[in-house]
Structure formats: C-alpha cells, structure tokens
Chain A
Amino acid sequence: MTAQKEQGSLRRVNASVDEVARSLVGRFQTNRGVRRMLVLVVVAFALFAALRPGVYLSTLNLQNIAVAAPEIGVLAIAQMLAMLTGGIDLSIVAVANLTAITISTLYTAAGSRGDALGPVFILIGLVVALVGGLVNGLLVSRVGITPILATLATMQIFNGLAVVWTGGRTLYGAPRVLTGVGNATVGGIPVLFIALLLVAAGIGILINRTALGHKIQLQGANPTAAAYSGISSRRTLLGTYVMTGLLGGIAGMLFIARNPTASADYGASYTLLVIVIAVLGGTNPNGGFATVTGVVLAALTLQIVSSGFNAMRWSPYQYAVAQGLILIVVMVSDQVHLRRRRRGTPPALPVGPATPPTPV
C-alpha cells in the first residue's frame, strides 16, 4: 500500500481498513472451503482406519487411493475452471476418452515402433483434446451458446465419434512411457499422484498469478463488471474452455497410464461425479470462486470414502448413497451458514429458525 503524503489521513485510514477487510474476507472464504474439506478428509480417513485398520492402512490400499484419485482429481480441476467462469463443461470425460483412444489407436497402428514413438502419440492425443476444447470455446464465446448446452451437445458429438471410432469395443495397448509412469512410485508415492499435485499447482498458479486467471475469476464473479473493465469475455471464455479441454486430455493420459485400455464409455459416471467433487471442494456453481486445494481434497475425500466402503465390504450402492448425502449435507450447511452470517452482521433480532435440521 503506497499512500502518498499529500492525501488526507482519513482517506488513508479508509484505504487501509478496506484492504484489511478485503484480505480478511478473502482468507475467511478460502479457509472455509479448504478447512471443511481438510476436516472431512481427516475424519473419513480416521473413521475407516479405526474401523478396519488391518485392511485400510495397508500400503496396497493407500497406494490404490493415490492411484485412483488423480484422474477424477484432474477432471474435477477442469470442471472447477469452467465453473469459475460461471459455466460448466459436460464434455470433459468424452474429451479424455478421445485422447486415450487416440493414443491407444496410434500405438497399436505403429506396431513394433509404438514404444519409441510414444511421446509423439501422447502429444497428438493432447492436440485432439485441445481441438475439443477449442470447439467448446468457440461455441461458447463466438456463437454464444450457454456452456451447459454447448458442452451437452459436444459431449454427445465427442462420445459419438469415439463410439464410431472404436465400434463400441475396448482398445488395448498403451506406450510403455505411459504404463511405466502408471506403475512407478517415488519414495512410495505413485507418480500418478504426483502428476495430480503438479497439475493442481499449475492451475493454482494460473488462477492466482496470471492475467488469464484473474480475468477468469472476474468473468465468473461479475461478467458485466468484467466487460466494463475492458476484459474481453470472448477471449477469456475461449481460453478457459481450451484449458479445460487440455486438462481433459491430461486426464485421458492418466486413464491409459493407470490401465492400458481405452473405450468410448469409460468413466461414464465421471461426468456428474466431477461436478459433485468441484462443488464439494468449495467451487461456487454460479462462478467467481473456487480453490484448487479444496477440489483436490474433495477428490481425495471421495476416494477415501469409496475405498473405505470397499474395505468394510459395504456395497458400491451404499457408497453412492453416501456420496449423494455428503454433497447435499455440505450444500445445505453452506447455505445455512451463509444465511446466518448475513443475518448476524447487524446486531440482529432473533428471526427465523436458528439451525433447521437437515431433512435428508
């Protein structure tokens, strides 16, 4: 804060109060989303570790969690990015599958030279994802189609193309570069998990430290204000959806690295799951606010609960119930918290019910 001497002291005080308040509000918001997920991760982990320590705390189980979380984590980060602008991207899973299918097809076609050309194929796979993102971006920013509809349509198109391409079959085979990465660990930590952390860090920097990131946040928080600040919403949106496409491509690489198969209908349940994770991680579905840390923690939480249910021999159906309940309880408690805070600001009269029980 560089307040000049000739400015009135009142003004300076005002400015500093403003600054402090803003940073407090910012920290409070950041902390709430992240703190909540941290608590959930720890509680979920402790619960299952206490219930069945033998199975749950085994290295195998922990590594399984760390290997399964990255692909949905990366997809959720992509979804978070789209939601940050107030949009949504329903096509990311389809894009991820297209990338995986591209890599697998090229690898098989190349025959014995497939492993040597692996990096090239990966690059081509990422280009496919980029093109997918570009199509979304153009539909949203140029044609002006609402993101949910544009990506609903492109989801059908990308998925349809994948069905045509594979004939509905599952493709086998992946370059050794990828499968090697899929099996490798560094100090006991799977490389795939490290990849998730790298992607998260990269997107965190993109959002908080780059011009595009700030534009994305402002676009989501208040499109009108963004427009009047001279931000081209077209370019911001285009950049966002190209980015989500690219992240989808990275997720596709993770798919095939973990399991050297590719098919059009892999991860069919991911499309909606990824939205759940993004929202759980504190992303505002209306745009303007999200944290990468929260989203990564949310992906971990769901994976921890899922493998916990496995360890307890509870059915995946019960896990589906738990997953839905977690989402609803978190949303409702958020809303109740928000309302209470709004009411609580002035020394308010005790109006309305304090904390209504959650009817779930």
Chain B
Amino acid sequence: MQIKGKAWKFGKNIDTDAIIPARYCNTADPEKLAPHCLEDADPDFVKKMSAGDIVVADENFGCGSSREVAPITIKAAGISAVVAKSFARIFFRNSINIGMPIFESEEAVYSIDEGDEISIDPTAGVLTNHTKNTTHQLEPFPEFLQDIISLGGLRYWVEERLKSAA
C-alpha cells in the first residue's frame, strides 16, 4: 500500500484504550473494530479520515495495554502509517509483527500540521510534506528489525525457523 494521505495530529501518551476501547474488545474481528478507531481520543475520527491518511502523534504513542487489536484497528480503518516522536514498546512490536507501518521522527512530527499532505518512502526512510514542501529523514530501524520487516512480518521469521528446525 502506498503511504500517502492527509495528516491527523494527536498529542502525547495516546493509550491503547483511546485507540480501541476495551468495551469493543469482546471481538477480534478487524471489520468490527475499525469503526471505533481512536474513538476515545476523537469520537468523529473515523468519519473524518479517508483511506491512506496518516496518524501523526507526539511521544509514547500506544502506551498501556498489550492488545494487538490496537494496531490491527488502525490498519483496518485504512490508516497507511503512524508517525510519532516515540512509541510505547509493546505497540511498537505489535505494529512490526502485523505489518502496520510505523516511523519515528521528532523533527517531522514537530513540523507537520493537521491536514498537511504527507507521503512516506519507507525504503529511503524519507517523509515528504507536500503542503509545506519539506522533507524529513525518519529514524532507521535496527538491522535485526529490518530483517523481520523485509521478510514481511514475524510470521515469516517464525516459519523460516520452523523450517530449519524440521
């Protein structure tokens, strides 16, 4: 999926209860979860956003619960990437594992305003702000994680290991 869309800005410490409240977690079905994406941070978010849009947040995005349905919900709602100053660690792992594109950059988050048109080239690690005509370098992932990402997610890392063990 191409990462290109409008930026929606959120503050710091957006927790997993704000991303997908536990009251909706009596199902793990992505289609049922998607309409409630970020509902407790902005009740109208799903109505306002379009497929491909990008969530831009301050520090510690995804703190709180280990619920994997948090990145699953964001992905199912049609968000193409989350850019934050930093991520809570379980949300970070979950996003890598399920193939939800996430990127860290203090500078980019600082410069983006809500509604800016953004695109991201994940291979080059570059974010372009088309509204402001600026580009920003994104934090590169450690080599170990790049391997998992390039395989296509944790599933393929596990399958390779199962194969070599067999």
A and B: bona fide binding partners: no
A residues contacting B by CB (< 8 A) are none
